[in-house]
Chain A
Amino acid sequence: MKIIVAIKQVPLRDSPLHPDSSGKWIDETDLGFEINEPDAYALEEALQLKEKHGGEVVVLCAGPERAAQTIREALAKGADRAIHITADDLGALDTLGVAKLLAAAVAPEKADLILTGLQSDDLGSGQTGVVMAELLGTPHSTIIMQVETREGNIRVKRELENGWFQHIEMPLPAVLTMQSGSNKLRYATLMGIKKAKSKEIRRVTPAELGGAPTAVATIEKVYLPQKSKQTQIFEGDAKSAAAQLVEKLKFEVRVL
């Protein structure tokens, strides 16, 4: 079974976020980066499927030079090779543009399964996998917890709202967007890290993939949200802040 895992590199979870001088995106200088968390679960699912059924896991990532680090980490965890769509100006594209590049890189691979996270922790549009499936002409399903492979098709467990689930069957090839938490994530072993150094990372440019259309959806401005509710913040050391809070809970909220 040949599986492609589309991953994205995003700022570290606790990064301080400030708009840059253009006001249209965040200032990325001094930020650290890591794999988008749901994509890490997609990678884990792919590696487990490979362990069960054999085959190949190919990592696909579009991003600037720095994304190479995240790609190496995925190879160290056990992916066989990688495709890096190198571009510094992906921020100028919208979901359709990025999905077009990813789909163009995926198409010649003739993979059985394409996995990605259900959404990115930065843009959070939650659409890249679905749009990719449409462009590739394959069926898809989203927010997937489990994948069962069968002869020529798969049966997946999809998460619905409020604690409901559903199984869905569909033919291969297919695109699935994976929910976080469905598996336990592995760490790279020392051997894995060593092996990753000699694994292939094929670099391609957007131009080599036929380019991407001009964005139809553009971010005009990013900013800190305006607070709609007045939060009363208790200052002072831990003991005094805690005492002030308890006073409120006892005499105003009346729960103590």
Chain B
Amino acid sequence: MSILVLLEQQCGQWHRMSWETLSAAQQLGAALGQSVEAVVVGKGIGTLASEVATKKVAKVWAVEHDLLDSYTADGYTAAIEELIRKTQPAVVLFPHTYQVRDFAPKLATRFLQVLVSDVIAARVDAGVLTLVRQFFQGKLNGDVRVSGAGPLFASLQAGAWRADALESGSAAVEAFAPAVSADKIRQKPEAPFREAARAVDLTAAEIIVSVGRGIKEQSNLPVVEDLAKAFGAELAASRPICDAGWLPMERQVGSSGQTVAPKVYIAVGISGAIQHLVGMKGAKTIVAINKDPNAPIFEVADYGIVGDLFEIVPALAAEVRKAKGA
């Protein structure tokens, strides 16, 4: 039995989570006594497949077809389904990317299985695999087990496994030409684009004061704006604040916004859903101000104050000004 691990690429560029997922597959393969076979999907992927072949894997599958040049849910599902039916793996692993979220649940359904998504850890007890994932946006964790006849499908959260633990090796690349046909692909994708250039570059900021739902109303924003001013910091926000139009989208930090790594990141009223954490957990020092001591933001915070932000933030702004004046 084997572990099949899907690596993600776009236009010849790797998605950085691919290597984390391959590293996880190597570790799980060792724990389960299974070999690891890596899969690259696309068109003109020879170079990418050869690169994977320098890692410790039993084999690299280069799944190539003209119709797999641009990603479509229908095309990817059909191609990978065919490879799984041929190779009969025990486990299929994916990086939990937006693309995987788009097709992996469909693929798992073809095997009457359920994708265990956004997995943060895995344990093997007596040969049985237990997957850990988050519930309630990271407020609770849960252990999940999978039974059933088909392979076990799981997608792994960004940063949950370390790419630098990846082991090197030497493997053969095997080409696989799936029978994908144009009439079965119903989605017609256009070229990806970015909205107007960003006027605010949060990535250059040394200090970021970031605000979340805890601010409650747009009219309360001056409270955090004043704190940002006191620190000489850039103001940023979690997604709901930008969705509501209270701050422009270009100030959003998280998986759909900017990824920042300032010296200090001060999260005010941000609970810390994973979509936000992936955008800021690289900050050197993280400060969290939140009323809920169990908020996931405290998972990553170096310093914290638990309480009412409307009392704490003005007090903090005053103390910062005092310290700077001294």
Contact = CB atoms under 8 A, between A and B. Distances in A.
Nearest to B213: A13
A79 interface: no
Contacts of B137: 121, 124
Interface string B144-169: 11111000000000000000000000
A208 interface: no
A168 B259 contact: no
Interface stretch (B39-47, B55-63, B185-193): B185-193
Contacts of A170: 186-188
A183 B42 CA distance: 34
B193 A239 contact: no
A125 B148 contact: no
A225 interface: yes
A246 interface: yes
Which among B110, B190, B264 has the highest number of chain A CB atoms within 10 Å? Answer: B190
A122 B138 CA distance: 10
B300 interface: yes
Interface string A222-256: 11111111011110001101110110111001011
Size category of the B interface is: 35 or more
Contacts of B136: 11, 17, 26, 121-122, 124
B296 to A, nearest CB: 7
A161 B114 contact: no
B174 interface: no
A231 B213 CA distance: 22
Nearest to B186: A139
B318 A222 contact: no
A123 interface: yes
A131 B113 CA distance: 10
B74 interface: yes
Contacts of B239: 180-181
A114 B322 CA distance: 57
A165 B106 CA distance: 22
Contacts of B193: 164-166
Interface in B253-310: 255-259, 263-264, 284-285, 287-288, 292-294, 296, 298-308
A140 B117 CA distance: 18
A221 interface: yes
Interface string A203-232: 000000000010111111111111111011
Contacts, number: 249
Q: From DSSP, what is the main secondary structure of chain A's interface residues?
A: mixed
B222 to A, nearest CB: 17
A36 to B, nearest CB: 12
Contacts of B207: 255
Contacts of A227: 298-299
A238 B312 CA distance: 5
B142 A222 contact: yes
B294 to A, nearest CB: 6
A96 B114 contact: yes
Contacts of B51: none
Contacts of A141: 73, 102, 187
A169 interface: yes
Given A229-B302, A241-B305, A130 B106 contact: yes
Contact of B106 (A134, A160, A218, A234): A134
B66 interface: no
A229 B206 CA distance: 22
B140 A255 contact: no
Contact of B303 (A140, A225, A248): A248
Given A133-B106, A241-B307, 9 more contacts: A26-B136, A127-B101, A217-B116, A220-B142, A224-B294, A229-B300, A249-B285, A256-B231, A256-B323
19 contacts: A17-B139, A19-B140, A127-B117, A130-B73, A131-B108, A141-B102, A142-B101, A168-B187, A170-B187, A216-B148, A221-B143, A222-B135, A222-B140, A225-B139, A225-B296, A231-B303, A231-B304, A239-B315, A250-B323
